């Protein structure tokens, strides 16, 4: 069993920055990837950014160049540095971990609100 704890969300003005963290704990043996998903009211949950255990990254077109995903493997932690935030970025952000058994685990979500 794996538990994911997210932190770093909050309220910021347009143009500001936030840094989200997601720490994994529990029965962790081999992580394939960790990523961040975005869900705004009335919309589908969509991938924002992901990083593999080897360091390869993937970004949604809407955040590429503004957001950076990184990880600290010894701490089983993934980060999302969010710069130049826009009101359209307002959403609940969920952390997901996928292991090499293709099992996925989700965090509880953290609210990010960007005011204009």
Q: What is the pLDDT of residue 65?
A: 97
Q: Which residues have CB under 8 Å from 29's CB, separation 6+?
A: 99
| Nearest alpha carbon to residue 69 among 108, 102, 14, 20 | 20
The per-residue pLDDT for range 48-95, each reduced to its tens digit, is: 999 998 999 999 999 999 999 999 988 999 999 999 999 999 999 999
Q: b or e along 63-72 (b: 16 or more beta carbons within 10 Å of the residue's beta carbon)? A: beeebbbebe
Q: How far apart are CA 79 and CA 69, in angstroms?
A: 6
* The pLDDT of residue 74: 87
Nearest to 100 by CA among 10, 2, 22, 13: 2
Do the beta carbons of residue 41 and residue 113 sit within 8 Å? no
Mean pLDDT (whole number) for 93-110: 95
Q: Where are the alpha helices (DSSP H) in 1-116?
A: none
pLDDT tens for 36-52 read: 999 999 999 999 999 99
């Amino acid at each position: 069993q794996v538990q994911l704890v997210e932190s770093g969300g909050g309220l910021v003005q347009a143009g500001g920055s936030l840094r989200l963290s997601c720490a994994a704990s529990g029965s962790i043996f081999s992580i394939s990837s960790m990523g961040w998903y975005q869900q705004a009211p009335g919309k589908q949950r969509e991938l924002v950014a992901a990083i593999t255990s080897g360091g390869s990254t993937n970004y949604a077109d809407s955040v590429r160049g503004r957001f950076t995903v990184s990880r600290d493997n010894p701490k089983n932690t993934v980060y999302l540095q969010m710069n130049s935030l826009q009101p359209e970025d307002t959403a609940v952000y969920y952390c997901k971990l996928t292991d090499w058994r293709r099992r996925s685990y989700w965090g509880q979500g953290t609210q990010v609100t960007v005011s204009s």
